[in-house]
Amino acid sequence: MTATPAIKACCAVFGLLLPAAATSLAAAGGLTFAATTESVAVTATEGGPVRLLFIHHSCGGQLLAEPGAQDGGGKDSAARCIYRSHPNGGGLRSLLQAAGYEVHEATYGSLLGEDTDICHWRRKFAERMDRILACDEQDRSYADGRTNEIVVFKSCYSSIDFTGPGEEPGDPDSAQQTLANAKAAYRALLPLFRSRPDVLFVAVTAPPRAEPQPQGLKDRLGAAFRRGPDSADHAHALHAWMADREGGWLRDYDLPNVAVFDYHAILTDGRSAKWSAYASGGGSDSHPNREGNARAAAAFVPFLDAAVAGLRAGGR
């Protein structure tokens, strides 16, 4: 069954790429999803709520946190970037919990959460898949034998400071930040995800950079006379490719256990802005501000509900 134009428009506006099974269910009237705080209830699995692990650094921690003064997540903490609240807080954790998800995190200071650049993901999932699925918080595993049914993973804005297009087919493990290497890294994940068809893997695209402010005459002249695509253009190209179900990353992937949440598109107002439209620090800090994170959090929960329903439907 084909998704209706309204469903496709919702996904396009808010940067959501769902498995085809999820959009088919939505088209059939089985699901409603939009950028609101209302959500389709998720049926808990036997043994408790649906367990979700989010591997992130500061931007992901702030997206999850409640808005308010910073509480938790300090640089000297064993749980750095796991915030209870933050001035940039999007409130996603509480929205997920209200929708029936049990939220767990891995970030700085843990083997599972320390390295989150795009070039790190293939090796992380290849070598530590079982530990990721068993992760309760940081490097602590569950004691009850249950595992995570959903793994959400996100790189930071520093990972999309691309130096150029690179050369296809790219190197998935290279630290050289080129568009070709980034695409290779994501392509290399799909065989690993295919090996676990029972788990939903959600790739969250990296947030955009704040618009750079040239310092000094040399920088201003360089910006004025620059020719060809720059890092922001390559970042847009990467995330458009990831979110293109027909011709992009998931074009030839036939399982419903991988979905893309296009955080980058939300924070650039559907890619109408080259740089972040929601930068914090008066526009100079690439960490998304409270408004941007709240928009992303409101879109994420119905997106995830639809993706989970697609996985449970068992196919495209």
More confident site: 241 or 75: 241
Residues composing the chain: 316
Ramachandran region of residue 230, left (φ > 0), alpha (ψ -120 to 50) or beta? beta
What CATH number does the domain containing 63 carry?
3.40.50.1110
User: Do β-strands 16-17 and 140-141 pair in parallel, antiparallel, or remain unpaired?
Assistant: unpaired
Give the pLDDT confidence of 136-166 residue by residue, as tens digits. 999 999 999 999 999 999 999 999 999 999 9
For residue 228, the model assigns a pLDDT of 72
More confident site: 118 or 78: 118
pTM of the model: 0.86
Identify residue 76 by its one-letter amino acid code. Answer: D
For residue 168, the model assigns a pLDDT of 97
What integer is the mean pLDDT of 168-194?
98
For residue 263, the model assigns a pLDDT of 98
Q: What is the extent of the structural domain holding 217?
A: 5-313
For residue 47, the model assigns a pLDDT of 63
Q: Are the C-beta atoms of residues 145 and 107 closer than 8 Å to each other?
A: no
More confident site: 141 or 22: 141
Give the pLDDT confidence of 55-72 residue by residue, as tens digits. 999 999 999 999 999 999
What integer is the mean pLDDT of 260-265?
98
Give the pLDDT confidence of 195-237 residue by residue, as tens digits. 999 999 999 999 999 999 866 665 555 555 566 789 999 999 9
Indicate the number of domains in the chain. 1
What integer is the mean pLDDT of 267-290?
97
Indicate the pLDDT class of residue 45, thresholds 50, 70 and 90: low
In the chain, at which residue ranges do the beta strands (DSSP E only) sit? 16-17, 50-55, 66-67, 85-86, 101-106, 135-137, 140-141, 150-154, 200-204, 258-261, 279-280, 285-288
